[in-house]
Amino acid sequence: MTRIGWYGLGSMGLAMATNLQRHLATKNAMNLIYSNRTMARGDPLKTLGATPETSFAKLVGQCGIIFTMVSNDSVLQQLITSAIGSGHSLRDKIFVDCSTVHPETVGLTVSKLREQQASFLAAPVFGGNPIAVDGKLVFAIAGPKKASEVVKPLIQDVMGRKVIDCGEDATKSSLLKIAGNIVTVNMMEAVGEAQVFAERTGLGTGPMEELISEAFGAVAGGYSKRLTTGAYAPPLESRPGFGVSLAIKDANHAFAMAKEHNVELPGLKVAHENMVAAREYAGECLDSSSMYGVLRQKAGMTFWNEKSRKE
């Protein structure tokens, strides 16, 4: 039996690893080995029977399938470098990265791991923390077919409700993720604009939220709730649902690729500017929907609403 490892226990990773560990327990399979920069984040996983390992290189040595779910391209690259430099043979190991990274990063990682006779699957996800907790994420997966077939049963109905197979070229799922986030960020901007409009015209955010949820679906409704519950600007030191810097990174990846292919992304540009302005005003501890705070300021209100933090 292959031992499974997990690195990255942030807003998404902890929820995903928890569902995976629960699944392994029901199958009487070997428990997950987990690691994270902040090891204490894994305490709930340990309670479920998973095994902590402070060193990623040692985790890799013990596991045949290694999932990663980290902030960005450079963290993924550091992990792969440490796995390769660990001295453990990586032959026949399968690395599965669920983070949102640039297709170029995926291509580089594929080549580096291929030299070690290991496989790399890019398996980014769609859906936020509550959806990850429910095990209902949408995954896009791409990479060697043999490896995909091994990994899919660990995803389908465990961490995700749907796996979109993007074929054998691992860069394709990462491309789909970047494209999907053009929709996500534009939708957050649209919901933010509508809610500021509703508040300023006296319509009120309640009826607006009801309409958004009913007419535009649960995803748009969820974005509205991030505003009306104040989650766009959560308490300092808490972990935002989808950190503003992560969404800015994703938008920057989209701009870089759009430029290469002569595509304009004017809506994304507006949302990006507002996210950057939000971060300049209120710092890192913001959700990606925090362009709403800037839209509020532009309409003569405070960045904060009655449910958000206040400074």
In whole angstroms, the minimum distance from the beta carbon of 57 to ligand NAP comes to 13
Residue number, 29 or 75, with CB nearest to ligand NAP: 75
In whole angstroms, the minimum distance from the beta carbon of 300 to ligand NAP comes to 30
Q: Given 93, 112, 172, 177, which residue is catalytic?
A: 177
Report 14-53 residues binding ligand NAP (CB under 6 A): 36-38, 41
Q: Which residues of 199-236 are buried (b: 16+ CB within 10 A; e: fewer)?
A: beeeeebeebbebbbeebeebbbbbbbbbbebbbbbee
User: What is the rounded CA–CA span in Å between residue 166 and residue 175?
Assistant: 10
Q: Which sign, positive or negative, has the C-alpha torsion 233, 236, 242, 243?
A: positive
Stretch that binds ligand NAP, among 67-75, 138-146, 158-166, 197-205 (CB under 6 A): 67-75
Residue number, 223 or 303, with CB nearest to ligand NAP: 223
What pairing do the DSSP bridges indicate for beta strands 119-122 and 125-126? Answer: unpaired
Could you say which of 5, 6, 12, 45 contacts ligand NAP (CB under 6 A)? 12
Could you say which of 160, 222, 241, 293 contacts ligand NAP (CB under 6 A)? 241
Give all strands (DSSP E) within the chain, no chain letters.
4-7, 33-35, 51-52, 65-68, 94-97, 119-122, 125-126, 137-141, 160-165
Residue with the CB atom nearest ligand NAP in the bound state: 10
Residue number, 13 or 293, with CB nearest to ligand NAP: 13
User: What is the rounded CA–CA span in Å between residue 300 and residue 141?
Assistant: 44
In whole angstroms, the minimum distance from the beta carbon of 308 to ligand NAP comes to 18
**Count of CB atoms within 10 A of residue 193's CB?**
18
Could you say which of 106, 125, 220, 251 contacts ligand NAP (CB under 6 A)? 125
Question: Cβ distance 90 to 83 under 8 Å?
Answer: yes
In whole angstroms, the minimum distance from the beta carbon of 53 to ligand NAP comes to 14
Residue among 127, 98, 96 at smallest CA distance from 110: 96
Q: Is 8 in the site for ligand NAP (CB under 6 A)?
A: yes
Q: Which sign, positive or negative, has the C-alpha torsion 42, 157, 103, 80?
A: positive
Q: Is 265 in the site for ligand NAP (CB under 6 A)?
A: no
Query: Is 145 a catalytic site residue?
Result: no
| Residues within the interface to ligand NAP (CB under 6 A) | 8-13, 36-38, 41, 69-72, 75, 99-100, 125, 128-129, 239, 241-243, 246, 250
Which residues are catalytic, by number? Answer: 177
